[in-house]
Each structure stands twice: as C-alpha cells, then as structure tokens.
Homo-oligomer: A and B are copies of this chain.
C-alpha cells in the first residue's frame, strides 16, 4: 500500500501521471490519495495533513508526499523508515509533523541511486514523477531502503516545527493551525492538555463553552471540543465556525487551566 499527498490539485494530470509511473513498476500497488489540495507550495499545510493521516494506515504503508517548492535546487530527496511506515519526499520539513509524534527514525537515506528513478536524467521540475513515485513503487515491492542511496544522519534533516502552545497566567495559549472544509477551527493545543478540565475557551472577546460533541449545543451555537484528530477544535453545530466567528489561521486561542 502506497499513499500520495501533493499540492498538485485535480485540474492537471500530474497525479494521474505519478500513478501511471507507479503502475509501470508495481502493478499490484494499491494507491490511496490522502489529498492533492494542499495549497501550492504550502509545506506547513502538507506537514499537518500527513501527520493526521498516517496513523490510520496499515503497517508498512509507503507515504509519498510531494510539496516541493525547492524542486531542482540542492534540497535532498529522502526516504525515512519509521517503525510503522516509510516516508518518501523532499527534505524540507514536510515530515516534521509525523516525526514529532514519537516516531524514532530507524533508517534515513538520500535518494541518489538513479537505478530506482524513472530515468537517470530526471526533469528539474517534476521529481514527483521522476524520483518520488518510482522510488515509492520500488519500496512497495520490498526494495530495501539502503539500496536507494547513502544513509544520512537524521540530525541533519530539515525541520519545520509545529507552532507550539504555551502556558501563561494559568491559561494555555495557542493558535488556529488549520481550518477544515466545514469551517471547524483546529488549534495547535493537543487534546491531552485539556482533557478532563475543558472549561470555556477564549478567542478575542468571545467565550466559547467546552463540550464533547457538536450536538451538545443548539444548532448555530459555538462549541470547543477535542476533535477526531486529537486537537482542541472550535466548531459551530450545523454551521461554519470560520465564517461565523470571523476567525482565520493563526488567530490566538486561550484556554483557562482549572
């Protein structure tokens, strides 16, 4: 099993082409799209999505992720062996979210062995097609990581740290790190920090009651809860919290610690 996460969108054939390349190498591969709607070149958004999705896949899944503003530059192409899965993509911080979740790196390599590329002369603008998809396909067939290129020191990986929440004056202070299709505001405050004592949540002048599920409040009412991804989230029952509360990415969120 192999997943794809990119910022290629669905209007062009870039994703289809990657699947064609994979099928040429491993016709048996099952390919799942995580999403291709990462905003163009938004590595941080890709990092967030990949971190939330990878735990739900079978052991041994190969995740190919391509949000790659530095394609064609000196940035490294890498593969990482984790206990539960394998990651393939550019070395630009895209994997920082997954790695922040207690995942020891069992092996890390630079993808410099062109035997596993689509061609020894890859394009300078589409490594998804010419390097990452074929390498992912070979990995899904059982090629060992070390065949793909020399080992690299995990300490040298580019990191893109998640925005951190902190405690101040008996409040946890965080921010909105993602907004989903329903307008739910996903903060960077881990659910584990507020579980058991979630009182109300303050955003600007507004106090939002804490709860467990959308339907606890009346239709149209706001609620703060721990979302299915494990983060504190602000939602409107039957509505769109982002529109209604006029809040967007980065807005500050405060939770009183009881």
Binding site for B on A (CB under 8 A): 1, 3, 5, 7-17, 19-21, 23-24, 27, 30, 32-37, 40-41, 49-50, 52-53, 56-58, 61, 69-73, 123-126, 129-130, 180-182, 212-216, 225, 227-228, 233, 235, 238, 240
Contact = CB atoms under 8 A, between A and B. Distances in A.
Given A32-B16, A34-B16, A40 B182 contact: yes
A56 B1 contact: no
Contacts of A3: 16, 20
A9 B181 contact: yes
Contact of A24 (B7, B57, B130): B57
A18 B42 CA distance: 24
A31 B224 CA distance: 34
A225 B71 CA distance: 14
18 contacts: A3-B20, A5-B13, A5-B16, A10-B10, A10-B35, A11-B180, A12-B180, A13-B49, A21-B56, A24-B56, A24-B57, A27-B58, A72-B216, A124-B212, A125-B214, A125-B227, A125-B228, A125-B235
Contacts of A124: 212-214, 225
Which 10 pairs, one residue from A and one from B, show the smallest C-beta to C-beta distance? Answer: A72-B213, A126-B228, A124-B213, A73-B215, A20-B56, A9-B181, A16-B34, A20-B57, A123-B228, A13-B53
Contacts of A56: 17, 20-21, 24, 129
A41 to B, nearest CB: 6
